[in-house]
Amino acid sequence: MLSVSSLPAFAQLASSSVLRFVPSTNLASLDPHVSTALVTVQHGYYVFDTLYGVDANLTPQPQMAERHEVSEDRLTWTIILRDGLTFHDGEPVRAADCAASLARWSQRDGLGKSLAAAVDRYEAVDDKSFRIHLKAPFPKMLEVIGKPHSSPAFIMPERLANTPAEQPIQEMVGSGPYRFKADEFNPGSRVVYTKFEEYVPRDEEPSWTSGGKVAHFDRIEWHIITDKATAASALQLGEVDWLENMPSDLALLFPEGSGVEMKVSDPLGTGGFMRFNHTTAPFDNVKLRQFVARLVNQEDYLASFSGVVQDPTICRNMFPCTIPGVEEEGQEELGSLVGASADEIAAALAKTGYEGERIVVLNPVDSADITPFAVIIADAMSKAGLNVDMQDMDFGTLLQRRASKAPVEEGGWSIAPTSWPSVAIANPALNTTIRGEGAAGWAGWFESAEIEEKVADWLNAESEEDESRIREEVNEIALREVPSLPLGIYFPVTAYRSELEGVLGGSVRYPWNVRRR
């Protein structure tokens, strides 16, 4: 049994109408068009909905849409909305809302920008249908607007979607199965959602982000508990119902029959990464990035995930090895200095041109999954002769610091840990960790016209053979340029009280279908 010295003051008897959930990190950003953080995506699925979702096979399925039509020349897509769609402010969902939402989202999201480049204009035909007029055919339309993660094309009222894309929206009004309770939001402590009674689920069985999203709880409370042992204790005592992620070391304390069930939350797993800042020294130097990649022993980074439900997977590839067709291809680029002598490492470092610049490693101590990544890479770089400054902070602060392009002397950063559900980085267009969009891209701001050209080729590919070939070409470039460091694939475990059922698999913990027995 876990020792409980002091538990949060939210203890209460289990209720059939209230679900108490502990997210893995604080909800620091509310706008799911602006933030790619997993916790924000998860929040987004409570409040908002998408035109298309994906099933467990990652096949696009209609969600808010009833159907679509494509013109013979493939330059016009008409999307017809299903009946019963209503926003939380009581207004009906209109085609104009959908068009404005796609336009805003596609200014921020990497995959969305590819769509934006192909779109000539949006046209609201009437309240139930709108057209997407294209400059050229865009074969992967449904895969793009139905992407399940980081960040999905969530639909919001036109009045909110007209907010400049770089400015976070301040009002959380969607058409999803749960309302956001702004009056009960306490950042760093509690987030509350209540069932949206006017939400009309689809008739199909739920599967990932598609199908019937049936809300069985009147109220869902997120309790932010940064100490994972305290969170596990609360779960054990029935003071919370569900932990988004159970740390591996604590999971071993819950044997069968303990009243707590555990399952791999996402069968495709999660990729661990270290993200370089490419805009400032010293990691604007590709030779130094290549050197650090040669120090990476993925076994070290994955060790803490072993022995619980499903063991992690070594994957020396810029794409997840759990995605069909992806195999290890980076054995020479990743980890080739592991086990080398001090003289060999020093000689390799000397060839990089490194001049002793300070390397700031951001370490989110409240994020149990990824804080070991920062500690291990900092130790490896320090032992290899680099000038390392590891700075501890919470995950919300990391997100704020990571947005800065300032040099380290002015509060900037050099390298930071992160993780991405495999489904979110499964192909060249989706894989934010290697996209080469520069200043307009993800924090770290890697720039590569070569990769972006390949992404455009992949988006226009119309055969699986061409898609696979282009993915391999992109992987080869990324292994050479090292925009990010892949650390392998692990399988997060979600844990919940045994009286819950209907917990679905997917890249985040979805609130629908879950109910108390």
Write out pLDDT tens, residues 118-172: 999 999 999 999 999 999 999 999 999 999 998 899 999 999 999 999 999 999 9
* Predicted confidence (pLDDT) at residue 13 exceeds the cutoff of 60: no
The model's pTM: 0.86
CA–CA gap between residue 514 and residue 517 (Å, rounded): 10
Residue 377, C-beta contacts closer than 8 angstroms, at least 6 positions apart: 274, 292, 295, 296, 361, 415, 417, 485
* Whether residue 5 has pLDDT greater than 60: no
Domain spans of the chain, in order of start? 270-490
pLDDT interval class at 308 (50, 70, 90): low
The CATH number of domain 270-490 is 3.90.190.20: no
Q: Is a pLDDT exceeding 60 seen at residue 361?
A: yes
DSSP string, 415-453: EEEEEEEGGGGSSTTT-TTT--BGGGSSTT--B-HHHHH
pLDDT of residue 2: 44
Q: How confident is the model at residue 1 (pLDDT cuts 50, 70, 90)?
A: very low
How many Å apart are CA 450 and CA 77, to the nearest integer? 30
* Cα torsion angle, 430, 300, 506, 188, sign: negative
Would you state the pLDDT for residue 11?
Answer: 45
169 backbone φψ class: left, alpha, beta (φ>0; ψ -120 to 50): beta
CA distance 489 to 425: 12
Q: What percent of the chain has pLDDT over 90?
A: 86
In this prediction, residue 251 carries a pLDDT of 85
User: pLDDT tens across 383-424, in order?
Assistant: 999 999 999 999 989 999 999 999 999 999 999 999 999 999
Q: What is the mean pLDDT of the chain?
A: 93
Contact 142, 62 (CB under 8 A): no
